Amino acid sequence: MNNQAKPAKKQGSVRGPGGPLVIASENGVNACKRAMELLAAGGDPVDAVVAGINLVEDDPEEHTVGYGGLPNEEGVVELDACVMHGPTYKAGAVAALQNIRHASSVARAVMQHSDHVLLVGAGALQFAKVHGFKEEDLLTEEARRIWLRWKEKLSGHDGRVPPRDAASAIGSRQPEDPDFHYGTITCMALTAGGDLGGCTSTSGLSFKMPGRVGDSSIIGAGLYVDNAVGACGSTGRGEANVLNCSSFLVVELMRRGATPEEACRQALQSVAQRTERRLRDAEGRPAYSLKLYAIRKDGLVGGASLRGPGRMVVQSRDESRLVDMPALFPARSKE
């Protein structure tokens, strides 16, 4: 099996294989397989991707989402998620949700059972309980040990920044400190009939300030679906994605004729140009990770990584494969 992504052809000269098809971030292999089982049986695209992501949210060894996700700086797991349904152009999302492992399912319930798009904090929890979701402690012993190790090191690299004059210097803060990671799963599906749906779910930046919300619950940032064009999801530094509405931009670029890979690269170039000085390395390049994953309505897929290599999962009826995504800038050297 060749895991290398083929070079993008000229705009308008390529077509995808059609559906059913599922794509996801690299941690979504099992999610894609489950989603494809439901698609092959005629299932709804949002139901399919949420069922797939539930598997990842259930995995205590996956520290990016759900049960076992790494907590905020106070040791509390807070989850964000959103879904978007192409055929109806409806969406639902939750942010800073505590004590409910399947944030993706709660986001779907918000879409299906409310007139709102986004519920947060205590309101999101109350809504989840009313709809039958059970509360539980999401902090596993392994995640607790990781959090305590970070606390004991007394790292100064938290969510707080120095005054503006000190923060303006290039390289004044390294957001990819090994103590931290931006953990997320995104998954999108295309049915045989050409309908699209997507979901992004996360436990967010590890050891974040309580109440911090990244891009994974923001429609247009962490996920965007337009049934006439395509869909895009993301992983990585959520703040950069929120500021640039990257997933929405990718879909709009595809609407104008760009391939998924071209659209992702162009969106990341825009992100790079707007990155503030304190988040750049000594060479002036963005020092953080951000990845975009996209699928077009005809089934053509592609993605790109801002910093260092990236891979995406592509699941068809017959096979699952990992596809390399191009990077705008090389990975940071280990210091």
Active site residues: 184
Question: Which whole-number Å values give the CA distances from 222 to 84, 87, 304, in the listed order?
Answer: 11, 19, 15
Contacts 24+ apart (CB under 8 A), 156-160: 158/73, 158/207, 158/209, 159/73, 159/205, 159/208, 159/209, 159/212, 160/209
Cα gap 218→234, rounded to integer Å: 11
The single-letter code of the amino acid at 243 is: L
Candidates 197, 253, 190; CA nearest to 16 is 190
Q: Count Cα atoms within 13 angstroms, Cβ side, for 15.
A: 4
Q: Which two tokens stand for residue 43?
A: 């299932």
Query: 334 and 321 in contact (C-beta within 8 Å)?
Result: no
Helices vs strands, H then E, count in the chain? 9, 13
Query: 49 and 190 in contact (C-beta within 8 Å)?
Result: no
b/e map of 204-240 (b: 16 or more CB within 10 Å)? bbbbbeeebbbbbbbbbbbbbbbbebbbbbbbbbbbb
For the chain, percent helix, then strand, then coil, each to nearest 5? 30, 25, 45
Tell me the β-bridge partners of 320. Answer: 315
Phi-psi label, residue 157: left if phi above 0, alpha if psi -120 to 50, beta otherwise: beta
Which residue's entry shows tokens 């959103």?
82
Q: Coil, strand or helix: which one is 158?
A: coil
In degrees and rounded to multiples of 5, residue 173 shows phi and psi of -145, 135
